[in-house]
A and B are shown apart, each in its own frame.
Chain A
Amino acid sequence: MIRPGSEAELAEAIRDADGPLSLRGGGTRGPLPDGTPITTSGLTGIVLHDPAALTLVVRAGTPVDEIDEVLRGANQRLAFEPMDHRGVLGTTGTPTIGGVVAANVSGPRRVLVGAARDHLLGLRFVDGEGTVVKNGGRVMKNVTGYDLARLVAGSRGALGAITEVALKVLPGTETCASLVARGLDDAAAVRAMSAALGTPYEVTGAAHDPQAAGGARTVLRIEGFAPSVAYRARALAEVLKPHGDWQIEDDREAVRADWRGIRDAAPFHGSTGDLWRVSVRPSEAAGLAARADAAQVFYDWGGGLVWLRTGEGDDLRARLGRHDGHATLVRAAPETHERLHTLQPEPLALQKLTRGLRDKFDPRGILAA
């Protein structure tokens, strides 16, 4: 394993590479490509935390836990609450912020505050030729030049190795509460979640577990200052009456633990079979899940994200057919990843653009991704 201790060393390692590199942060999010393993986990440390500007600049290998702790100390947080993949993948190791940004990993709060890429202010990366490039900056509004930062975020290492990221952070929340309904079928649950997200009550999470212990469970989250949370929870329960019977859960620690589980796709921890993550228009989610003929289904993002567990090697995409969205294979045997592809193949015109960009940033084709 190559483990550079600085950006310059990483650039040198990439420049000197004579074959494919298997780039990783903490290696928790798989699947890892073939090639010489190289990790950014040696590039650690917070470069700048400016609480009054809601800004954090941090080296890519810094553990997410460490960042959470520093931010908590200033009553701040990464609002996009990145998922920890270790539970569903059975991986060990330490999730790094570089990995989060490189895979645009975003949790339940995506529906209100946006994804990881929406909180990205800038980054530095080393491209496939070993050139260090910076883009964006550390300020909240910046349209100076092309937004390469967002292009590289989510590229899973295909365009380069991220060495440093600047992120927008948000104030912590004083408290939270959940509204819970039992027994809704999938279509009704998605309708209820859409109705909730269409209110002004700032729902920060909307998930549905059709196979929960004790029967289907739909859960909505509200966060903020205590009086505001109490007010909005009541108002929301009232508005949602046509969509079921809603109980308010306001034990803060229990609610937080519940949403950590939703964030980490806990219903699939310890399960067997392949796991897919399908990005979809909420209004098409229930129909799509029905077509999937899956062993297990779970909805997050108000139905915009559907987790599906299928038999090993099943071609879920063939069953789903065309839809406005895409299916990513999250957990499967290496040969299934190989055969079905981790990411959904794109239309030809987009493939051409993607190929063109990869050739430009990695002309030797050593950044296997």
Chain B
Amino acid sequence: MQMPSPDARIMARKAQVVARLEQALGARGVIHDPAETRAYECDALTAYRCPPLCVVLPGSTEEVSAALRICHEEGVPVVPRGSGTSLAGGALPTADSVILGVSRMNRVLETDTMDRIIKVQTGRTNLSVTGAVEELGFFYAPDPSSQLACAIAGNIAMNSGGAHCLKYGVTTNNLLGVTMVQMDGTVVEIGGAHMDAGGLDLLGVICGSEGQLGVVTEATLRILPKPEGALPVMLGYDSAEAAGACVADIIEAGVLPVAIEYMDRPCIRACEAFAKAGYPDCEALLIVEVEGSAEEINHQLETILKIARDHDPVEIRAAQDADEAARIWLGRKSAFGAMGQINDYMCLDGTIPVSALPEVLRRIGELSDQYGLGVANVFHAGDGNMHPLILFDANKDGDLEKCEEMGADILRLCVEVGGCLTGEHGVGVEKRDLMSVQFDPVDLEAQMKVKDVFDPKWLLNPAKVFPLAASESRRA
């Protein structure tokens, strides 16, 4: 992966840029000591690191606007940052860029259960949004596994999803309005507590734009009443085909579970060793969760279990209470941690049509043999969002490169069967150069035109999302 070489003229003006930013934000709001900027050198894609020119941590929309205006005047690129949990390198700095972090802006501005909304500053973490409305009987639906750490800012920029999006949708379906600062410092209000756009759906294109159109400082989010209850069942199968057919039949039967999670044997074994959740040693494990009152849950589970039995399961375990439910989820929820214990891994995020599942798993197995790298699969089966974890050894020369090549092959496969490169983690720098696998030049050109309008000088997070060659003439 390449990043454009930093602009030496900007680096030479560091002192002047820092001074102007300090004047606007106060010394407390600006970090420029190389020992401290190092903390911002990467996000959760730790393979790539580069300390920024400096870091600004504004405390308000006005300060964000002031900081951006200065960077705009100085021609300095800006990389917005929430909590830095991006797995795609979305918040990776360049040496000539200013990191603009919104972590200090984490207040709840308004909650209204009559309109079923919460308005927050975007530095607030995902889980603490639910935390703010839980006592009122509500929750914020998108629940990325990183929800303890990740910020609403990053969720909006990446259009993040979670385990429960089969029923509740992803961020874009739960976002009603934003306050956003454009690169030149202009503050715009888009949407609000009402339910649809009055003109162009600008909110729709801002969500998922990976920090390239503006810095989002406030967000109005839809909150939902908490369900009466939820219970999972665990289904074990001896083949990917059987598990895949079971998922298809459940959906076709008209039951809409809130979550259908899938793990393959390598993943099951790792989780079992790590969390002792009591998973069977089989080829494919499904966790299917349904919601409602006790009566409703039973009714749905009956249908699901009947379908499950038709496909010759090796094990069925239905949770009877919260304790058993927690045990079923325990393994799945510790999957990434468990894999991390035994190996370095790279987590992919392509989506495929659910019907292509058995074929894709088979071909991933072939790639695994070909490259000599292990793969564990854990993913959201209901919506086809795969998370193959490629295992490699970071200390072994060339292993990371091999792993990246294999990852690219898997993502090409996802596109080939009718899917896409990324279902929830975003393009960032990681999948930037694969974009032309999924899109023709005219498709990319149409997307870049949108950036031209919001950020004509291409100063916001410029080296992300689009293949460097495609965006070259636009980047200064």
Question: Which residues of A are interface residues toward B (Cβ below 8 A)?
Answer: 50-55, 74-75, 104, 106, 110-111, 114-115, 117-118, 127, 131-135, 137-151, 153-155, 158-159, 170-172, 174, 191, 194, 197-200, 225, 227-228, 231-232, 235, 279-283, 301, 304-305, 324-326, 328, 343-344, 346-347, 349-350, 353-354, 356-357, 360-361
Chain B residues within 8 Å of chain A by Cβ, number: 95
Tell whether, in the assembled complex, residue B158 and residue A143 are in contact, meaning their CB atoms are under 8 Å apart: yes
Tell whether, in the assembled complex, residue A154 and residue B197 are in contact, meaning their CB atoms are under 8 Å apart: yes
User: Which residues of chain B from 157 to 189 have a CB within 8 Å of any chain A CB?
Assistant: 158-159, 161, 165-166, 169-170, 172-173, 182, 186-189
Shortest beta-carbon distance from A342 to chain B in Å: 10
Tell whether, in the assembled complex, residue B194 and residue A326 are in contact, meaning their CB atoms are under 8 Å apart: yes
Tell whether, in the assembled complex, residue A52 and residue B204 are in contact, meaning their CB atoms are under 8 Å apart: no
Q: Hey, which chain B residues are within 8 Å of A279, CB to CB?
A: 194-196, 198
The answer for the CA separation of A135 and B190 in the assembled complex, in Å, is: 22
Tell whether, in the assembled complex, residue A53 and residue B384 are in contact, meaning their CB atoms are under 8 Å apart: yes
Given known contacts A139-B353, A139-B418, A197-B116, A146 and B205 CB-to-CB distance under 8 angstroms: yes
Of the residues B193, B255, B382, contact of A171 by C-beta under 8 Å? B255
Does B58 sit within 8 A of A, measured CB to CB?
Answer: no
Shortest beta-carbon distance from A202 to chain B in Å: 8
Does B85 sit within 8 A of A, measured CB to CB?
Answer: no
A-B contact pairs, 29 of them (CB 8 A): A51-B251, A52-B247, A132-B442, A133-B442, A137-B351, A139-B351, A139-B423, A146-B208, A146-B450, A147-B205, A147-B207, A148-B446, A154-B196, A155-B201, A159-B200, A171-B253, A194-B116, A197-B116, A225-B300, A227-B296, A228-B299, A279-B196, A283-B112, A343-B198, A346-B198, A347-B189, A350-B188, A353-B454, A356-B453
Does B318 sit within 8 A of A, measured CB to CB?
Answer: no
The answer for the CA separation of A191 and B189 in the assembled complex, in Å, is: 27
Tell whether, in the assembled complex, residue A143 and residue B194 are in contact, meaning their CB atoms are under 8 Å apart: no
The answer for the CA separation of A110 and B435 in the assembled complex, in Å, is: 33
Does B73 sit within 8 A of A, measured CB to CB?
Answer: no
Tell whether, in the assembled complex, residue A199 and residue B435 are in contact, meaning their CB atoms are under 8 Å apart: no
Residue of B nearest to A54 (CB): B251
Does B115 sit within 8 A of A, measured CB to CB?
Answer: yes
Tell whether, in the assembled complex, residue A198 and residue B225 are in contact, meaning their CB atoms are under 8 Å apart: yes
Tell whether, in the assembled complex, residue A104 and residue B201 are in contact, meaning their CB atoms are under 8 Å apart: yes
Given known contacts A146-B447, A147-B172, A198-B137, A141 and B198 CB-to-CB distance under 8 angstroms: no
User: Which residues of chain B from 246 to 263 have a CB within 8 Å of any chain A CB?
Assistant: 247-249, 251-256
Tell whether, in the assembled complex, residue B419 and residue A139 are in contact, meaning their CB atoms are under 8 Å apart: yes
User: Which residues of chain B from 419 to 462 have a CB within 8 Å of any chain A CB?
Assistant: 419-427, 431, 435, 438-440, 442-444, 446-447, 449-454
Question: Which residues of B are interface residues toward A (Cβ below 8 A)?
Answer: 112-117, 137-138, 158-159, 161, 165-166, 169-170, 172-173, 182, 186-190, 192-202, 204-205, 207-209, 225-228, 247-249, 251-256, 292-293, 295-296, 299-300, 351-355, 380, 382-385, 418-427, 431, 435, 438-440, 442-444, 446-447, 449-454, 465
Tell whether, in the assembled complex, residue A304 and residue B194 are in contact, meaning their CB atoms are under 8 Å apart: yes
The answer for the CA separation of A155 and B202 in the assembled complex, in Å, is: 10
The answer for the CA separation of A300 and B292 in the assembled complex, in Å, is: 25
Tell whether, in the assembled complex, residue B292 and residue A127 are in contact, meaning their CB atoms are under 8 Å apart: no
Tell whether, in the assembled complex, residue B114 and residue A191 are in contact, meaning their CB atoms are under 8 Å apart: yes
Q: Hey, which chain B residues are within 8 Å of A353, CB to CB?
A: 188, 200, 202, 453-454
Q: Hey, which chain A residues are within 8 Å of B435, CB to CB?
A: 144-145
Given known contacts A114-B169, A141-B161, A349 and B188 CB-to-CB distance under 8 angstroms: yes
Tell whether, in the assembled complex, residue B454 and residue A144 are in contact, meaning their CB atoms are under 8 Å apart: no
Tell whether, in the assembled complex, residue A143 and residue B195 are in contact, meaning their CB atoms are under 8 Å apart: no
Tell whether, in the assembled complex, residue A194 and residue B114 are in contact, meaning their CB atoms are under 8 Å apart: yes
Residue of B nearest to A76 (CB): B254
Residue of A nearest to B256 (CB): A171
Beyond the given A115-B196, A170-B256, please list 18 additional residue pairs across the A-B interface where CB-CB is below 8 A: A118-B173, A132-B442, A137-B418, A138-B418, A141-B380, A142-B423, A145-B435, A146-B205, A154-B196, A159-B200, A174-B254, A228-B293, A279-B194, A283-B112, A324-B193, A343-B198, A360-B452, A360-B453
